[in-house]
Amino acid sequence: MANITLGGNAVTTSGELPQVGTKAKDFKLVAIDLSTKTLSDFLGSKLILNIFPSVNTGVCSASVRNFNQQASSLENSKVLCISRDLPFAQEQFCAAEGLENVVMLSDFKTGAFGKDYGLMMNNGIFDALLSRCVIVLDKEGTVIYTEQVPEIGQEPDYEAALKALK
């Protein structure tokens, strides 16, 4: 269980992020077209999993915009932006912002992704939402970098995540 904060208030998560060097667990997430996507759908590409509580908050939307900008120059890589927002909200956000270089995925149905990856918040005002994390996977789905952002209101270390892809 990770100990993080939200506005300075203590929050715990459902577990620990996957360890570097381990295979990432498979997942079932909902895309904006309401199809189900799994980890195997993306194998063969390096992946940045940009995980956050809600696309409708300032820091979360900033992380999606930042990774969208960076993604256009990434070779054989994809950025998966994952939250518990409804796919309709994710689609509206991307359309309004003109974002085309990221893949929006939702854990709204079961929360299994957040639980399996140890990043669902257990308490506080964002209880049951996903904490702000970045997980980078190689082409075979092995974890090569993780970051659990210690204060939900902080942006992730974009540079470190992108460096892990090289």
Catalytic residue positions, numbered: 60
CB atoms within 10 A of CB 158: 17
Pairing of β 77-83 and β 46-51: parallel
DSSP state of 4: E
Planar angle of CA 155, 161, 164, nearest 5 degrees: 165
Extract the tokens encoding 11: 């929050």
Task: Measure the CA–CA gap between 141 and 2, rounded to whole angstroms.
Answer: 23
Extract the tokens encoding 136: 């980078």
What is the number of H-type helices and E-type strands within the chain?
4, 9
Extract the tokens encoding 147: 């970051």
Pairing of β 46-51 and β 36-38: unpaired
